Amino acid sequence: MNIQFLSAILLSALPLFAMAQEIDCHVVGVHDGDTLTCLTAQKQKLKIRLAEIDTPESKQPYGNRAHQSLAAMVFGKDVRLDVQETDRYGRKVARVYQGSIDVNAEQVRQGSAWVYRQYLKDRSLLALEAEVKAAKRGLWAY
């Protein structure tokens, strides 16, 4: 492989690397089961949409419980965001980690969220969802 070809491939991949972003922040608000607000060390307020999952809206069945589940895991705590993109509403779409807990996966594991197949990157979430469905846990109990 010649150096020019390799350089062209690497340069074309730069936008992919630029999109991946890791941010540490403190959660100051939880809006529903898949959206939160956090504050960075620089006092920048960020609205975050949890990637690859979806939860019922607050007024839908299990919506309040999904909200409570997320709040119990992250509200008032420091989290790490692995940002995948920015959505059309200006929210950062991210996998959220509170310590060693993958919050997105934990929402699925607890039955508080289902996998958002349209935007799925981590196929292991499907196995978690299948287990929870089979056990009729959380929103799958209805």
84: left (phi over 0), alpha (psi -120 to 50) or beta: alpha
**Residue 91: active-site member:** yes
Residues 6+ apart with CB under 8 A from 106: 73
Q: How far apart are the first and last CA of the chain?
A: 57
CA distance 66 to 88: 23
Pick the catalytic residue: 65, 80, 91, 137? 91
Pick the catalytic residue: 57, 65, 80, 131? 57
Pick the catalytic residue: 49, 95, 106, 129? 49
According to DSSP, the residues that pair with 86 across neighbouring strands are 92
**Residue 49: active-site member:** yes
Which residues are known catalytic residues?
A: 49, 57, 91
